[in-house]
Amino acid sequence: MKVEGSAMGEKRKAVEGRKKYEQERIARRRGGGGGFGRPPRVRRVLAGSSSAAIQRLFEVCMAVFKGPRTVPSPKDVQMLQLVLDKLKPEDVGLSTDLPFFKDRSTAKETPAITYTHIYNCDKFSMCIFFLPPTAVIPLHNHPGMTVFSKLLLGTMHIKSYDWVDNYKTDKDPPSAQSRLAKIVENSDFTAPCETSILYPTTGGNIHTFRAITPCAVLDILGPPYSKEDDRDCTYYKDHLYADVAEGDSTANGRCDNSFRWLEEIEIPKDLKMTGIEYRGPQILDG
């Protein structure tokens, strides 16, 4: 939102009358009188540039994501990645003092995860996840999606997989719901760091997050999850390939310990996720 100055002494006399009239009209509107409607909504913006940053991110997403069954071009991916790499916690109204970073659970309880949706449409969604220490977002997939993950605060461990096709093995999977996959990423990340990008079939489309410290991560999914469009979220449990194959971790004729069986499971019963209203800088859509 653009904020204008009110130093009338610096204005030309020819427009003083008009400016005075405009100021009086705005004052009446903010007071809720004079038939000018309700007072404007209060928004928690930490800095004048914050709204510009989130607005810029939204506009780039609108240009990059074309809808279902499409993948952004390398040029568009780079453009969005550059915007996200520069994004700061204060650009979305965050600080480490927020309550969801406080781990109030006992040692035997699973820490709850909080999330807030910044924006949703048919082409993409923008959501922030808040994870207290030791909280885990279980292993899950992103069918037909391109996903940009920006760690805004904290340190987290990310483990991701891609499916392995056309492999040869004489060992049976642990169940009929299992499929062979290979680890793409298995590392700790600390903010600020580069944006993580995954694609429909590459880059670690199946991943899990584990918070080492209080964390906030911004996820942009294009297109978003949709049961109606066959883009529902599926959860998995990983099994060591060597365990199943009795010490032989060979796939495609090579020994590689990064192979795992991923078994499709129901939503974990101990997963606790709570949604809250987004109260950061607002996006102007249209």
Once rounded to an integer, what is the mean pLDDT over residues 25-31? Answer: 39
Tens of pLDDT, residue by residue over 171-184, are 777 787 889 999 99
pTM of the model as a whole: 0.76
Rounded to an integer, the average pLDDT of 68-75 is 96
The pair phi, psi for residue 155, each rounded to 5°, is: -125, 130
Would you state the structure tokens that stand for residue 153, as one six-digit string? 């605060």
Q: How far is CA 93 from the centre of its chain?
A: 15
Position 262 scores a pLDDT of 96
| pLDDT higher at 182 or 8 | 182
* Amino acid (one-letter) located at 124: F
* Segment of 12-26, 241-255, 258-272 carrying the highest mean pLDDT: 258-272
Give the pLDDT confidence score for residue 104 in this predicted structure.
57
CA distances from 126 to 1, 144, 189, 225, 284 (A): 20, 17, 21, 12, 14
Mean pLDDT, all residues of the chain = 80
| Short-list 199, 208, 66, CA closest to 143 | 199
Residue tagged 């082409």 (tokens): 123
Helix then strand count (H, E) for the chain reads 4, 14
**Side chain identity at 107, as an amino acid letter?**
A
Whether residue 195 contacts residue 146, with contact meaning beta carbons closer than 8 Å, is answered with: no
Domains observed in the chain: 47-275 (2.60.120.10)
Question: If you average pLDDT over residues 108-121, what whole number do you get?
Answer: 90
| Contact call for residues 153 and 237 (beta carbons, < 8 A) | no
Place of tokens 């079939």: 201
CB under 8 Å to 52, separation ≥6 — which residues? none
Torsion of CA 215, 218, 224, 225, to 10 degrees: 0
Of 15-19, 87-91, 258-262, the one with minimum mean pLDDT is 15-19
Spatial distance between the Cα atoms of 8 and 101, rounded to a whole number of angstroms: 46
Of 173, 144, 188, the C-alpha closest to 196 is 188
Q: What is the mean pLDDT of residues 49-66?
A: 90
Quick one: which of 187, 146, 169, 196 has its CA closest to 260? 169
User: What does the alpha-carbon distance between residue 26 and residue 43 come to, in Å, rounded to a whole number?
Assistant: 18
Q: Please list the alpha-helical segments (H only) found in 104-255.
A: 241-244
